[in-house]
């Protein structure tokens, strides 16, 4: 037995195609604005990819490249102006920020209705209460990946290993809203393998290479590996990447995401979709209203 490969690129392209179609129906083109401070190479790469995908689907894209010496007050002033600009649909501040700037204060300053990263406390509260919300992109991308491949969520015993505010916690809320029975575990959970072997849907987002071995996976499970870990260099000098799930799990699971090429492309695609969803609601004079339904008791 070898697991079916849940490749991210085709699922991400399908999500981008949906975003393009919806954006084309709007009276005004959605506009994604990204604020970047300094010249961190990883940030430059991430922002460039986001801009490229936005333009590919017909969105406007503006990068506000500020010097690393920008003060917190100056940054907050720019955010305030972009919040008030009706042409701006989605707004995000690329992390990490330089020392001396309070990231929490900066992220909280972004309007919840333009918070396409889904990190604002208002969106977190909306998500957990079952109210309309813009969700964090990686967990929403996981759900979109499952839907693309026709994999069930409702009624599944889902175990999420990882309790971060970016992936684990919001994914638990999204899966609950889709009628999964969810257990949220982490790297310090006693007898972790006892839980993971119960999972029909196993999502791992811890950041520890090969934490989950084949013996910890239920036969026939769907396994979503969110982890991306650097584990050395290849002969060509490029970074070697490994997921949180050992490759041998493919001999036990029914379906498994690869690393790289699994969840990663979904994160950017969901960011573009979030921008379109925000634009739809802002142009209708409403706040976000579609992404999650109120979970039944």
> Which has more confidence, 57 or 132?
57
Establish whether 228 is an annotated binding residue. Answer: yes
Per annotation, catalytic residue among 113, 115, 117, 225:
117
Tens of pLDDT, residue by residue over 233-245, are 767 777 789 999 9
Cα–Cα dist 119/43, whole Å: 18
270 tagged catalytic: no
Judge if 27-134+268-283 and 135-266 fold alike in CATH terms: yes
Q: Which of 53, 94, 156, 244 is catalytic?
A: 94
Nearest to 220 by CA among 244, 251, 247: 251
Please say if 94 is a catalytic residue.
yes
Contact 45/63 with Cβ under 8 angstroms? no
Half-sphere exposure of 259 (CA within 13 A, CB side): 26
* Whether the predicted pLDDT of 294 surpasses 50: no
| pLDDT for residue 10 is more than 60 | yes
Q: What is the mean pLDDT of the chain?
A: 93
Give the CA dihedral 286, 290, 296, 297, nearest 10 degrees.
Answer: -50
pLDDT tops 90 at residue 123: yes
Can you give the pLDDT at residue 167?
A: 97
Rounded Cα gap, residues 53 and 163, in angstroms: 29
Domain map of the chain by residue range?
A: 27-134+268-283, 135-266
Structure tokens at 157: 């015993």
Q: How far apart are the first and last CA of the chain?
A: 38
pTM (predicted TM-score):
0.93
Q: Is 111 annotated as a binding residue?
A: no
Mean pLDDT of 184-213: 96
* Least confident segment among 40-54, 134-148, 259-273: 40-54
- How many angstroms separate the CA atoms of 182 and 189, rounded? 15
| Tokens (6 digits) for 258 | 């690869």
C-alpha 75/C-alpha 194 separation (Å) is 47
Q: Which CATH superfamily is domain 135-266 in?
A: NAD(P)-binding Rossmann-like Domain (3.40.50.720)
Mean pLDDT confidence for 32-60:
94
- CATH code linked to domain 27-134+268-283: 3.40.50.10860
75-103 pLDDT tens trace: 999 999 999 999 999 999 999 999 999 99
Decide if 53 is catalytic: no
The average pLDDT across 243-249 equals 96
Q: Answer yes or no: is 162 a known binding residue.
A: yes
> Which pLDDT belongs to residue 292?
43
Any known ligand binding at 8? no
Residue 291: predicted pLDDT: 46
């Amino acid at each position: 037995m070898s697991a079916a490969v849940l490749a991210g690129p085709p699922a991400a392209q399908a999500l981008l195609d949906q975003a393009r179609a919806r954006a084309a129906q709007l009276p005004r083109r959605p506009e994604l604005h990204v604020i970047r401070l300094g010249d961190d190479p990883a940030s430059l790469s991430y922002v460039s990819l986001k801009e490229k995908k936005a333009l590919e689907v017909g969105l406007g894209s503006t990068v506000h490249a500020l010097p690393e010496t920008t003060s917190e007050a100056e940054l907050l002033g720019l955010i305030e102006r972009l919040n008030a600009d009706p042409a701006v649909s989605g707004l995000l501040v690329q992390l990490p920020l330089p020392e001396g700037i309070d990231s929490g204060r900066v992220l909280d300053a972004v309007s919840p209705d333009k918070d396409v990263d889904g990190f604002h406390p208002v969106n977190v509260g909306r998500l957990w209460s079952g109210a309309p919300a813009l969700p964090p992109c990686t967990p929403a991308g996981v759900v979109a990946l499952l839907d693309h491949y026709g994999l069930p969520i409702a009624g599944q015993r889902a175990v999420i290993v990882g309790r971060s505010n970016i992936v684990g916690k919001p994914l638990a809320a999204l899966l609950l809203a889709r009628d999964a029975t969810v257990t949220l575990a982490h790297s310090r959970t006693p007898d972790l393998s006892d839980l993971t072997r119960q999972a029909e849907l196993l999502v791992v987002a811890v950041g520890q290479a090969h934490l989950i071995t084949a013996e910890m996976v239920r036969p026939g499970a769907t396994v979503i590996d969110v982890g991306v870990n650097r584990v050395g260099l290849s002969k060509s000098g490029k970074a070697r990447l490994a997921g949180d799930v050992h490759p041998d799990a493919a001999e036990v699971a029914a379906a498994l995401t690869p690393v790289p090429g699994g969840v990663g492309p979904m994160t950017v695609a969901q960011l573009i979709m979030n921008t379109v969803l925000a634009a739809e609601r802002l142009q209708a004079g409403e706040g976000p209203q579609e992404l999650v339904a109120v979970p039944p008791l």
